[in-house]
Every structure is written in C-alpha cells, then in structure tokens.
Amino acid sequence: MRTLIAIPVFNESRHIRAVLERVLNYAKHVLVIDDGSTDDSPAILASLPVDVIRHCGNRGYGRSLIDAFSYAASEKYDWVITMDSDEQHEPERLPEFFREIARNDADIISGSRYLREPTAAALATTPTDRRRINRLVTEEINALLSARLGIRLTDSFCGFKAHRVAPTQRLQLTESGYAFPMQLWARAAAHCLRVREIAVDLIYNDPNRTFGAALSDPEARLRHYREVLHREISLSGEKLHVGHAASCREAGLAEPERRVRRGDRKDCHERT
C-alpha cells in the first residue's frame, strides 16, 4: 500500500527543516501544504525533497488537510498520515502507524495523547484550556457517536492520524478551519468508517500559540466546535440515527428540526 505523509505548514520556519529531515528518515513520499506562510518556510521547503502545495493566502488547517486528501487520491495513494509541523508529533512514531496500517482493519487510525496516562512533566506544559476543551468535546462525541463509530475516543483533536484515502474522499469534507475534526468524526460515523486509536506522546512546545481572531477565546472556541459538531450530526440525518436534541439544549444550541432514533454499527452494512 502506498502511503503519503501530509504536513500542513503556516509560518513554521523555526521547526520545519528539522521536522522534515526526521520524517524523511522514515518516508519517501511527503507532501507539505504551505498555507500562505509569510516567513522563510517557502524557501526552506524549496531546498528539501518534498512535494509542496502552496496557498497564496491562509485558508485554514482543515482546508490544508482536504487538499492533501485530494492530492493523495489523484496520485493513487492508499493512505495519508497527517502530522503537525511544530515538533509536537514525533516522526519516530511513523513506523507504528505503518504497522497499524498493515493490519488492514481500520479506515482511520487516530493518534491519542491520552490513551495512556501522560507524564506529569507533559501535563505541566499542556495549556489548561486546550485539555479542558478536548475533554469536553471528546465526551460529547462519545455520548453522541461512539455507538456508531464503534469506539470511545480518548482524544478527538490529535492531528497525528492515518486516513484511508478512498473512504475519506467519500466523506466530502468541507470544514476549512480548526473545527475540521468535528466534521470528520460526524461524517466518519455517518459513513461507518472503522476507527482505532494508538498512543502518541503529549507534547506542547509552545503553550502560548494562539488560534487567531475570535477562537483565541476558549469559550468562543468551545462553542464553535460544538456548533459544527451538532450541525454535522443534523445534516447527516437518518444516516446517523442519533437523537441529540437534549445535548443541543444543554449546549445552548438550536435543536435539530427532526428527531430520530439512536443507531449503532449494526446497520453499517446497509450504509456506504
């Protein structure tokens, strides 16, 4: 099976050369999506043996991943492993992803920083608001979608993932920003994708990194993530068979127009 490593980049000139040199020790097929960098990242990328998609302006984290999936499909790759460019995802973990891919029993292999207990040192450098939001959103995804996904997630936001290309393309993903994982999980559940988690290390090199604009406020960010999640569940309609009006009310969000029964993976053989 052909596997592509896809790495979104936005102004990562401090880290990108070191990250890519480590990645290239384990993989020959590497795609970098330069999301409108204004620092020296483009020049650094030009000096390395990697393919590059360059956005003229910043189009968002989700848009970068969507472009990577489209590229992988057009180039006949079977899998895409996505990872960050700021040294928070260790390239040395790539062989573990390759081994999991070779088992051929999943469509998404999702890295989890909480599948095993993080060290005290790692927790000490983790921004409190990010961990709290991850926990709250992960709990909500599990309450609404775990029966359909066939797994209770422990980390819904980790970007270190392996995606099988063909089923990922069927999801027709469109969410361009940081709420991309909310759409991914909802549509993965709707399309019966098989999901597993593997443990990766919890690393935060820059706890002061911001999300930009309104999403830098933790409560605004949490609300945005929940809005996208509930929107996607509602749009999936009968494919999900999820009754989530009560959780919408609790979140202070509009209830879905139609309520349907809760479903699980038993009907997945009937779905595409």
Q: Is the pLDDT of residue 260 over 60?
A: no
Range scoring the smallest mean pLDDT among 64-73, 198-207, 252-261: 252-261
Count of domains forming the chain: 1
Q: What is the mean pLDDT of residues 250-256?
A: 46
In a domain, 136, yes or no: no
DSSP state of 8: E
Tokens coding 182: 């909310």
What pLDDT sits at residue 271?
44
What pLDDT sits at residue 204?
82
Q: Where are the alpha helices (DSSP H) in 103-217?
A: 120-124, 128-149, 165-170, 180-190
Q: Is the pLDDT of residue 72 over 70?
A: yes
Q: What is the mean pLDDT of residues 25-35?
A: 98
Per-residue pLDDT band for 67 (boundaries 50, 70, 90) equals very high
In a domain, 107, yes or no: yes
In a domain, 229, yes or no: no
Q: Is the pLDDT of residue 249 over 70?
A: no
What pLDDT sits at residue 185?
98
In a domain, 62, yes or no: yes
What pLDDT sits at residue 263?
60
Contact 149, 189 (CB under 8 A): yes
What pLDDT sits at residue 30?
98
Percent of the chain with pLDDT over 70: 87
Contact 254, 248 (CB under 8 A): yes
Per-residue pLDDT band for 187 (boundaries 50, 70, 90) equals very high
Q: Is the pLDDT of residue 183 over 50?
A: yes
Q: Residues 6 or more apart from 53 whose CB is under 8 A from it?
A: 31, 32, 33, 34, 64, 67, 68, 71
Range of the domain at 49: 3-127+145-208
What pLDDT sits at residue 243?
53
In a domain, 262, yes or no: no
Q: Is the pLDDT of residue 207 over 80?
A: no
Cα–Cα dist 98/109, whole Å: 10
CATH of the domain at 162: 3.90.550.10
Range scoring the smallest mean pLDDT among 118-132, 155-169, 197-211: 197-211
Place of tokens 């891919």: 101
Kind plus residue range of the DSSP H or E element containing 52: strand 51-54
Is the entire prediction scored with pTM above 0.95? no
More confident residue, 195 or 1: 195
What pLDDT sits at residue 79?
98
In a domain, 18, yes or no: yes
In a domain, 243, yes or no: no
In a domain, 68, yes or no: yes
By DSSP bridging, strand 161-164 and strand 79-82 are antiparallel
Q: What is the mean pLDDT of residues 138-147?
A: 96
